[in-house]
Structure 1
Amino acid sequence: MLDKSATVYDQIELFGLTETDDDLPIPNDDELRTDLMQRTFDALFEGMTGTGLHREIEPIAHGLASLIFRRRNAIQKQLSDTSDSLRGLIRAADGSEVLETQMDELQRKADRFSDLLDALDIMAETAAQCYEQQTGAAFLPAANGRTSRLAHLTGTVFEAHKWLEAHEREQAAQFEIEGTPLAIAGDRDWMDHEYVWATLDKIRGRFKETFATELILYHKADKKGVDAIAAAWARNRKVPQVTFQPNWRAFGNSAGFKAIDQMLDTPKPLGGVVIFGKTGIALNLADKAERKGIKAMRVDLPAKPKS
Structure 2
Amino acid sequence: MTKIMRSVRSFTDIAELHDAETQASDAFATAFTETVDGFRIDVGEDAISADLPDPLMAERATELMVATIFDLMRDTRLEGIADRLAWQIVHAFHKAADQLDNEADRAAQKIKELIRSADGSEIGTVELEEAQTVCQSLDEAREAVACMRDHAAGVFHAETGRPWSAPRATLVSGKRTASVVDGINFLAARRQRRIEANAPQGPVVIFSGGQQWHDHQQLWDRLDQIRARVPAMVLVTTAQAKGCDAIAASWAASRGVTLVAMTLNHRLGNRAGFARNEQMVKLQPVEAVVCEGSGLQSHLARLVRAARVPAHFFRCDGQRAAA
Shorter-chain TM-score range: 0.5 to 0.7
Q: Is 1:65 matched with 2:83?
A: no
Superimposed CA distance per residue, residues 227-263 of structure 1 (whole angstroms, 9 cap, x where no aligned partner): 244234324422234555556655735x545654665
Give the TM-score of the pair, scaled to structure 1: 0.60
Give the structure 2 partner of residue 94 of structure 1.
121
State the SS of the aligned residue for 1:188.
coil
Kept after mapping to 2: 8 A contact 1:185/1:219: yes
Q: Aligned pair in 2 of structure 1 residues 201, 69: CA closer, same or farther (>3 Å)?
A: same
Superimposed CA distance per residue, residues 104-147 of structure 1 (whole angstroms, 9 cap, x where no aligned partner): 76665555433322211211222233323333444333573xxx
Give how far 1:45 is off: 1.6
Residue type at the aligned position of 2:223: R
State the SS of the aligned residue for 1:24.
coil
State the SS of the aligned residue for 2:61.
helix
Q: Is 1:273 matched with 2:289?
A: yes
Residue type at the aligned position of 1:115: E
Residue type at the aligned position of 1:225: G
Give the TM-score of the pair, scaled to structure 2: 0.57
Greater Cα offset, 40-49 or 261-270? 261-270
Q: Is 1:240 matched with 2:267?
A: no
Distance in structure 2 (CA, Å) of the matches to 1:20 and 1:47: 41
State the SS of the aligned residue for 1:121.
helix
Superimposed CA distance per residue, residues 9-37 of structure 1 (whole angstroms, 9 cap, x where no aligned partner): xxxxxxxxxx99643321244443x3122
Q: Aligned pair in 2 of structure 1 residues 20, 296: CA closer, same or farther (>3 Å)?
A: farther
Distance in structure 1 (CA, Å) of the matches to 2:209 and 2:128: 54
Distance in structure 1 (CA, Å) of the matches to 2:160 and 2:194: 18
Give the structure 1 partner of residue 142 of structure 2.
117
- One of 42, 47, 50 as aligned partner of 1:24: 50
Q: Which ranges of structure 2 fall in alignment gaps of 5 or more residues?
A: 1-44, 170-192, 319-323
Kept after mapping to 2: 8 A contact 1:29/1:119: no
Q: Aligned pair in 2 of structure 1 residues 258, 21: CA closer, same or farther (>3 Å)?
A: closer
Q: Aligned pair in 2 of structure 1 residues 59, 138: CA closer, same or farther (>3 Å)?
A: same
Aligned residues: 249
Give the structure 1 partner of residue 17 of structure 2.
none
- One of 139, 142, 157 as aligned partner of 1:132: 157
Q: Aligned pair in 2 of structure 1 residues 273, 84: CA closer, same or farther (>3 Å)?
A: closer
Q: Aligned pair in 2 of structure 1 residues 224, 21: CA closer, same or farther (>3 Å)?
A: farther
Q: Aligned pair in 2 of structure 1 residues 25, 63: CA closer, same or farther (>3 Å)?
A: same
Q: Is 1:207 matched with 2:237?
A: no
Q: Aligned pair in 2 of structure 1 residues 100, 54: CA closer, same or farther (>3 Å)?
A: same
Q: Which ranges of structure 1 fall in alignment gaps of 5 or more residues?
A: 1-18, 145-149, 159-173, 302-307
Q: Is 1:296 matched with 2:321?
A: no
Give how far 1:186 is off: 2.4
Kept after mapping to 1: 8 A contact 2:203/2:286: no
Give the structure 1 partner of residue 79 of structure 2.
54
Kept after mapping to 2: 8 A contact 1:37/1:123: yes
